[in-house]
Amino acid sequence: MKLKLYIKMKDLIKYVIEALIVTFGVILGLVLTQYYSQEKTDKNTKVALCQIIEEIDVNILRFEESLEYHKKIGIQLDSICYEVHPEDLEKKYYRYDELKFYELDDWDGVGTTNYEDVIFESAKINGVFQELNIKTIKIISQAYRQMRTYNDFQKRYNDNFISSDSKTTVMDVMNLLGMISGDFISKESQTLEVIKKSKVELEKTTHNNLYNK
């Protein structure tokens, strides 16, 4: 009787140990799967952030080129506008031959720039932002929000510029040209300041792996 009980107890212990081993194996497998999955996610997230930094850097170069152009052409535009006589301001521009800004040697159009946001939009669609903490999201969003604000401004300007018609006066054209040497320089300088700051903060955050939730 004792022998049978001993055998049953021995079998029970054996089954318990086997069950524990199987359970441990399953748990370990789940833990490792989760670990490697998170490791892969973290790696992809960091790659996406580095690509966003590169995209912001491209946009910085674009805004710097646009700002340089507007500063250069702005001086020339101010010069020819200064030569317009006050009594000519209300004349119809299409009949006025003195304000030929398009004949300036350095004139290459209004010179607005369009920013790149392919990587930014792709990161949103692919759920990269879900892996980021609020601070990192704010840094990225601030940069692209500023560029979007500039883009809205230049679209409105371009619409006004190309909508000139027979009713457009010399004063109207001068105001538009004045915005190139004024508003555009201001907007681009402001945008550059914001996106350069965002780039520096994002580089620090990415380098130190401080972007996770």
Predicted pLDDT of residue 33: 57
Is residue 142 assigned to a domain? Answer: yes
Listing DSSP states for the chain in one string gives -HHHHHHHHHHHHHHHHHHHHHHHHHHHHHHHHHHHHHHHHHHHHHHHHHHHHHHHHHHHHHHHHHHHHHHHHHHHHHHHHHTS-GGGTTSBGGG--S--GGGSTT--SS-------HHHHHHHHTTGGGGB-HHHHHHHHHHHHHHHHHHHHHHHHHHHHHT--TT-BHHHHHHHHHHHHTHHHHHHHHHHHHHHHHHHHHHHHHHTT--B-
Least confident of 40-44, 62-66, 184-188: 40-44
Question: Is 183 a domain residue?
Answer: yes
Work out the percent of the chain whose per-residue pLDDT is above 70.
84
What does the pLDDT look like over 129-155, one tens digit per residue? 999 999 999 999 999 999 999 999 999
Residue 104 lies in a domain: yes
Q: Which domain holds residue 191?
A: 2-207
pLDDT at site 212: 85
Residue 76 lies in a domain: yes
Mean pLDDT of 145-174: 94
How many structural domains is the chain composed of?
A: 1
* Residue 213 located in a structural domain: no
| pLDDT tens sequence across 75-105 | 999 999 999 999 999 999 988 988 989 999 8
Instruction: Kindly state whether residue 212 falls inside one of the protein's structural domains.
Output: no
pLDDT band for position 1 (cuts 50, 70, 90): low
